[in-house]
Amino acid sequence: MMKVILYLYQKAKSLVSVGMPVSVLKQSDIFEKVIAMKYDVPNKNLEMFEEYMQAVDAFYDSVMESNG
């Protein structure tokens, strides 16, 4: 779980470092999705974390595409 959180942090930090406003980042629901991850991922299905990583990548790509 922490790996996903840190991955989102790194992606968001890289967007901010190239001048992307935080308000643009907050328009996405990815932060709420990652926060709710602890309730959504059962202990027997840890492969779901990969889906969260892909969602973070999709978030990054969409922000870069629409605002970059």
pLDDT in tens, 1-25: 999 999 999 999 999 999 999 998 9
What does the alpha-carbon distance between residue 63 and residue 37 come to, in Å, rounded to a whole number?
Answer: 21
pLDDT in tens, 28-62: 899 999 999 989 888 888 889 999 999 999 999 99
pLDDT category at 66 given cuts 50, 70, 90 is: confident
Q: What is the DSSP code string of 27-67?
A: TSSHHHHHHTHHHHS-TT-TTHHHHHHHHHHHHHHHHHHHH
pTM of the prediction?
Answer: 0.87
Residue 59 is predicted with a pLDDT of: 94
Residue 68 is predicted with a pLDDT of: 63
CA terminus-to-terminus distance, the chain: 29
Q: What are the structure tokens assigned to 39, written together? A: 């309730």
